């Protein structure tokens, strides 16, 4: 068997346990694929070849000896280079930290390792995850898996590209404003931002006001549920994770059923925003699928859902507190785009910050109220397909012949919302646009109902089918 790149972790687990696939053979194939695609896609900052092969040999021996096996025994996975990995460098996408080697694993990494998964490498991210694109003075550009002249998205671009290209079935990413869902939609894979606390976060500096998440990226909903099931659990150093109720996410992600009796409310874009003709056609087709599965559909009014100013005030103030000393001392090591974002927060006062936090609370209440008349909210993930590769965060971008200023507020107005409110949101592949690039649809459920989100996602995926991989990298 040589088509490992097309198999899910759920499928590979069975093959390893029944001795139809060797962990060594699987890791060799994954590393060979990573090395072959790296010159084109540039989705890795570090490959752990020797260490990964040693662990694969140990995993194979455990199978041969009949020893107890972990749930993810022998499955290769990747980790975004913002997430700590013990004894393996974590650069945060910066020249300044290119030699940084953490002493311990982040909880999500530790839990995947304990379940028998094997780290293949660290995937690319822009400086401190600061852009919806994946580029850095440290490594250059990461390219879209479907079209090398388009962006991978960001800031988890390396994770999404490596997953879409079939290097590994599982990837740890992060999401602070859409950083998992944006590249997942750009590359045609599944990306979830779970409710706060489902996966412990050990690196957030403001644990109580945290809006960033350590997340799974996979090619199937079942693999997303599997990853969540392994990564979740009580963690004393994250207040949102303490004594969290146990949920069988793996089972939820394998649900089979329909949407009969379900109320789905949908919206194309917040008031004052628009979507491309391609995205509208794709979204309309997806709505017809949902209706065919028995759902009752009703649009919702998205006035007052332009949250980018709120997100930017909170997020950039945090960045300024964290990174201004580095920019002032080592400014020439950072990109102009990163410096500009950090310095821009100097315009915000303490009152501006607190008013943004008040607005965040009101946004949460407005969103919760929508679930009084809905079981599921549905939106496009992005307003158009992946942007051209060299687009800068501060550039205007084209959509159906018109140019728009403000990439955050016009390209992905629906992702930051749910970082602000904490509601679980997942992007799923929903077909290809006319330009041959993937389009994503986003599902959102009530705060804390991640199990329901996975069930709904599984129903939609079963109806749509699991998409194929990019033709140029098969």
185 and 132 Cβ atoms separated by less than 8 Å = no
How far is it, in rounded angstroms, from Cα 177 to Cα 216?
15
224 and 232 Cβ atoms separated by less than 8 Å = no
Cα–Cα nearest to 81, from 54, 115, 116, 47: 47
- CA torsion angle 17 32 2 439 (round to 10): 90
Catalytic residue list contains 193: no
Residues near 172 by beta carbon (within 8 Å), at least 6 away in sequence: 77, 78, 79, 80, 83, 108, 109, 112, 159, 214, 215, 216, 217, 231
Catalytic residue list contains 179: yes
| Identified catalytic residue from 22, 30, 80, 152 | 80
How far is it, in rounded angstroms, from Cα 119 to Cα 123?
11
| Identified catalytic residue from 8, 155, 241, 430 | 155
- Paired residues of 376 in beta bridges: 264
Residue 372: CA count within 13 A, CB half-sphere: 6
| Identified catalytic residue from 8, 130, 179, 276 | 179
Sign of CA dihedral 318, 323, 327, 332: negative
Cα–Cα nearest to 224, from 259, 187, 172: 172
Catalytic residue list contains 80: yes
Active-site residue set: 80, 155, 179
């Amino acid at each position: 068997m040589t088509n490992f790149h097309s198999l899910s972790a759920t499928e590979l687990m069975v093959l390893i346990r029944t001795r139809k696939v060797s962990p060594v053979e699987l890791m060799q194939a994954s590393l060979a694929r990573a090395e072959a695609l790296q010159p084109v896609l540039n989705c890795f900052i570090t490959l752990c070849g020797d260490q990964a092969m040693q662990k694969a040999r140990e995993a194979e021996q455990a199978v041969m000896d009949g020893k107890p096996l972990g749930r993810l025994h022998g499955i290769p996975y990747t980790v975004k280079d913002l997430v700590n990995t013990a004894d393996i460098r974590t650069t945060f996408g910066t020249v300044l930290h290119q030699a940084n080697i953490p002493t311990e694993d982040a909880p999500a990494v530790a839990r995947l390792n304990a379940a028998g998964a094997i780290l293949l490498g660290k995937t690319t991210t822009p400086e401190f995850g600061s852009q919806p694109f994946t580029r850095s003075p440290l490594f250059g550009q990461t390219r879209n898996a479907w079209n090398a002249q388009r962006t991978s998205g960001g800031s988890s671009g390396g994770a999404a590209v490596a997953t879409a290209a079939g290097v590994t079935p599982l990837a740890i990413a992060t999401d602070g404003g859409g950083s998992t869902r944006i590249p997942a939609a750009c590359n045609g894979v599944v990306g979830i931002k779970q409710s706060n606390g489902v996966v412990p976060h050990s690196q957030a500096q403001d644990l109580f006001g945290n809006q960033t998440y350590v997340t799974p990226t996979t090619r199937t909903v079942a693999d997303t549920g599997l990853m969540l099931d392994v990564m979740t659990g009580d963690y004393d150093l994250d207040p949102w994770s303490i004594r969290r109720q146990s949920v069988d996410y793996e089972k939820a992600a394998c649900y089979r059923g329909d949407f009969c009796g379900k109320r789905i409310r949908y919206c194309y874009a917040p008031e004052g925003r628009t979507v491309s003709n391609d995205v509208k056609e794709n979204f309309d087709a997806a709505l017809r699928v949902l209706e065919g599965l028995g759902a009752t559909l009703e649009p919702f009014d998205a006035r007052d859902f332009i949250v980018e100013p709120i997100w930017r005030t909170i997020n950039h103030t945090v960045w300024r507190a964290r990174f201004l000393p580095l920019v002032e001392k080592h400014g020439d090591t950072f990109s102009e785009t990163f410096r500009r974002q950090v310095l821009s927060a100097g315009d915000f006062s303490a009152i501006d910050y607190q008013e943004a936090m008040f607005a965040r609370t009101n946004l949460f209440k407005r969103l919760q109220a929508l679930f009084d008349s809905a079981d599921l909210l549905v939106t496009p993930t992005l307003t158009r397909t992946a942007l051209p590769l060299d687009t800068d965060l501060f550039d205007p971008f084209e959509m159906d012949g018109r140019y728009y200023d403000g990439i955050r507020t016009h390209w992905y107005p629906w992702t930051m919302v749910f970082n602000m409110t904490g509601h679980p949101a997942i992007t799923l592949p929903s077909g290809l646009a006319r330009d041959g690039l993937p389009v994503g649809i986003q599902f959102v459920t009530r705060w804390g109902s991640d199990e329901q989100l996975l069930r709904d996602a599984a129903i939609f995926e079963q109806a749509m089918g699991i998409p194929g991989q990019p033709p140029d990298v098969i």
